[in-house]
Structure 1
């Protein structure tokens, strides 16, 4: 009888738990339906929204306005200073003149919470009746990443990068960093925290080139990365956590997003700079007008809204070619200029100087190689053991420029011919003299950059033969590509929606989002969602940062990795 009572109690407890869960789910559904009904019944009249910058953040904001605020797309205006949308999500070129990928935006299936949710509502252009999220994840699952040549020496030896290379001092410094509060790290650099040995470990070479950190980068940002990407810590040697798009990010992300927005009537203006904003007097932050680079002015009505890109890491990029180095930068960052102008007028709009004031520390250079046929890619495959699209980064750790290359699955561009192949790479130390080409990378032509890389691979005896299959190499110098990692104070990055704002928000890699990490697509999308939901009072969930750094199993695995 006693056992029977226990059994009945257990069944009763399970039933109660089930009912409790069911009630909670029903309440959640009811609340969501109430929110949807409230939003669908809103009337915005002639309210206009101006989105300054045409990158993924502002385009995501436009999508959230349409999808979650029930806002009329015809009253959304995207103003972009360049001739093409996409910001840092780029990919352009032709089979005849060569392709350009300034870089590759690596995605992550586990940690890009809002990114995947947004693109799950954007229809794929290539896969009928499926979303962009479904298209990307399907492609990635069919083309998994597992680098077999993550680190390569100057004698062309593939290192066993499974070993992190830490000593006890490195482990203690890392452990101390993870337990130190963010507010105690203002202005500190990574090299001020770690000893010299740390920067010779396999871990540092891999982490540095995966995420583009420098010794002088913000310690604060490294700590955020270690917390946010702790899942990657144990698999940094294979990059198994990297999720790749089927094509470059412009073709795979920006084109379907633009198509979605255009179908809803969103207005796009290209080749037009916004150089300043006018604000109403008083303590509140209320934008009253947009000042354009052509001298024009857009006056705002009282109910209008402005969402501004307050900085872009690919601003002022310059391109070279086979015979020409990428030119020096002669113009001021346009996005930083706008940010600087408005920061002088109101409190709480941040400070661009730590990010855009030291080009020497924030630059690196990429190069895209366009080939006829696949002979060079086959050679890379034979060396690395990775077919195109499966290897992610291969870093030549002893090269003076610290060169890394990526061979994506082919084709990488929508308009790429079957007999054309491409790969891209980058060097972090552009001021250093090459090991074979005795010039700084900054001063090198596309041909010289490729020759340096060929020599690093030990293939210089075949250079003349290899050269016959090269269409071109396009180097791209990016003066501010690492700017978001610069040492800073907590107050230097503004809030997405600043205190006292009535109609203004900022979205970029230079706003402050607690617990999240910059230099990611997720950061831009999350900022966009915060901006729209806050300014339009949308009572829906912004998916929080997943706390993998509190998962005992993940922490145990990370601790074990430190001793590999």
Structure 2
């Protein structure tokens, strides 16, 4: 009997798992079934829209040379436009041609701020060293704010670091520590973002679509609009049945089941130019399966730690579609960066702590030449704006644009030729919330022979969540273990073990 694989969720973790099953496990694609409750493949790596109604990106994710698992995956997925090239080839060629070198990383009072200095006090430096030296068990459930003086959160470093990675003071000190170790090599260029790699288009068009096409060509079966509601286990802890909205699948002991647990974009809601997005506080289906199977199984983790603290995990993004080039022209004149060369621009004095990024255009494959698209977000959606006297969460797309134009001191006539679509995401930083050991399950839970947990809420020592890399590393870990392949995930890049990297980081911190 041929081995079969069943994967719950069609995000990057599941698609990467399927790709490695085929490449490294020699599994026929027809034996791989991917279930998803919705009709759009790609999970959180989504992107959609039209020039007339506006484009929407819930989020944007940076890439980095240290994403060795991700780059390995993309090294064997063919490009959509040139079968002689891989997706990785496209990304490398694009970044050679369009290098990131921000000249306007932080804005205050409508002016570019000099952020060549991190702005640390002597105590800040000692506190950073201390958190990096302490073990995770020592930090436990501490928040970042428990480890630093309040003045630390007014430094140039914090404004750049928190906006780049979406950290907030109440997030986990353990996750912050992991990021410090994982990206210490980026300290010297955090003010220019020159270490950031970008995809030629948004990540749905540049990564998801090529993956979907290749997996389809291999025969992988996508069963969309099919919500998995429960897993049934045998006394020997094998998954023996998968229950979903369209029926039941019998799972043999030789088969394997991969489950993407949790979702950072679950329950997202969209607004419009005339309506604010409504915060959805109902427990979404994306979390229901994990909640159900973890009941009375502590080895499956504790989902309630992550899905019951919306006030700590939510923030709001917005995508703006411009029918007139004036905004992009003004931004290029103001920042000194052409679109695609500057990266994130953060408004330090914004009550919402708003940031925007003007990507290289076009940002969507079929985007017309006369249309431009930019993306932004605010970390504090429940604070009243500086120019619009409303909470960001209560603002329409037009009001969010008024706030942005106010910070930039641009003419409001731009409102007549743009569409701003806000997006409220209740769980977007849930993976950063304070947690205890065991709240995230192991990729391969002990004692369960044919199930693996993948995605952003399983536990991978040392690596960092809220990255594509984490999902792909989970996929490699799960595939090699459950298919008994004599191979390990691509070794993690550890700049914190490199004396030169550490020297440059210390030198930067002393500026």
Q: Does 1:290 align with 2:237?
A: no
Structure 1 residue 345 displacement after superposition: 4.1
Counterpart in 2 of 1:99? Answer: 55
Corresponding position of 2:126: 172
Mark the structure with the bigger radius of gyration: 1
Alignment partner of 1:396 out of 347, 361, 382: 347
- What residue is the counterpart of 2:174 in the other structure? 220
Out of 471, 490, 493, the residue aligned to residue 543 of structure 1 is 490
Give the 3-state SS of the residue equivalent to 1:477 in structure 2.
strand
1:515 CA drift (Å): 1.2
Contact 1:285-1:504 within 8 A present in 2 as well? no
The whole-number CA distance in structure 2 between the counterparts of 1:266 and 1:342 is 26
Q: Contact (CA 8 Å) 2:144, 2:176: kept in 1 or not?
A: yes
- The answer to whether the 8 Å contact 1:285/1:346 transfers is no
| Alignment equivalent of 1:253, drawn from 178, 182, 207 | 207
Q: Which residue of 2 aligns with 1:315?
A: 266
Match of 1:48 in 2: 4
- Residue 424 of structure 1 corresponds to which residue in structure 2? 375
Structure 1 runs of 4+ with >6 Å offset: none
SS at match of 2:376: strand
8 Å Cα contact 1:226-1:233 kept in structure 2: no
Report the Cα distance in structure 2 between the residues aligned to 1:302 and 1:204, rounded to whole angstroms.
50
Partners of 1:46 and 1:514 in 2: CA distance: 33
Q: 2:313–2:427: 8 Å Cα contact kept in structure 1? A: yes
CA distance in 1, matches of 2:87, 2:498: 30
Which aligned pairs between 1:29-178 and structure 2 lie closer than 5 A? 45-109=1-65, 111-153=66-108, 155-178=109-132
Q: Which residue of 468, 472, 475 corresponds with 2:416? A: 468
* C-alpha separation in 1, matches of 2:102 and 2:196: 10
| 1:353 corresponds to 2:301 | no
- CA-CA distance at 1:156 after TM superposition: 0.8
Written as runs of structure 1 = structure 2, the 5 A alignment for 1:171-250 is 171-250=125-204
1:448 corresponds to: 399
CA deviations over 1:303-334 (Å, ceiling 9, x no partner): 22110001111111111111111122043122
Q: What is the rounded CA distance, in whole Å, between the counterparts of 2:457 and 2:28 in structure 1?
A: 28
Identify the match of residue 508 of structure 1 among 455, 459, 479: 455
Distance 2:279 2:507 in 1: 46
TM-superposed CA distance for 1:398, in Å, is 0.6
Query: Paired residue for 2:288?
Result: 337
Q: Which runs of 5+ in 1 are unaligned?
A: 1-44
Is contact 2:401–2:415 with CA below 8 Å preserved after alignment? Answer: no
Aligned equivalents of 2:43, 2:123: Cα separation in 1: 41
On the 8 A contact 2:271/2:421 being kept in 1, the answer is yes
Q: Secondary structure at the match of 1:108?
A: coil
> In the aligned structure 2, how far is the partner of 1:205 from the partner of 1:401?
12
Q: Could you tell me whether the CA contact under 8 Å between 2:120 and 2:509 is conserved in 1?
A: yes
Aligned to 1:13: none
Matched residue, 2:473: 526
Q: Give the structure-1-normalised TM-score.
A: 0.89
Local SS of the residue matching 2:506: helix
CA distance in 1, matches of 2:346, 2:281: 31
CA distance in 2 between partners of 1:124 and 1:280 (Å): 43
SS at 2:300 equivalent: coil
- 1:541 Cα shift? 3.3
Q: How many residue pairs end up in the alignment?
A: 511
Cα distance in structure 2, aligned partners of 1:106 and 1:391 = 13
CA–CA distance in 1 between the matches of 2:296 and 2:234? Answer: 10
Deviations 1:354-392 (A, max 9, x none): 211100010010100001131111111111111000111
Counterpart among 357, 366, 370 of residue 321 in structure 2: 370
CA distance in structure 1 between the aligned counterparts of 2:83 and 2:226, rounded to whole angstroms: 35
**SS of aligned partner of 2:422:** strand
For residues 99-144 of structure 1, what are the alpha-carbon distances to aligned partners after superposition, in whole Å with 9 as ceiling and x for unaligned?
Answer: 00111110001x1011111110101112331111111111011111
Could you tell me whether the CA contact under 8 Å between 1:309 and 1:335 is conserved in 2? no
Which of 383, 386, 389 is matched with 1:438 structurally? 389
Tell me the equivalent position of 2:509.
Answer: 562
Partner SS, residue 372 of structure 2? strand
Question: SS state of the match for residue 276, structure 1?
Answer: strand
1:335, CA displacement in angstroms?
A: 2.4
Does the CA-based 8 Å contact 2:444-2:453 persist in structure 1?
yes
1:234 aligns to what SS in structure 2? helix
1:27 corresponds to which residue?
A: none
Is the CA contact 2:277–2:422 (under 8 Å) kept in the aligned structure 1?
yes
Aligned to 1:496: 443
SS of equivalent residue, structure 1 residue 256: helix
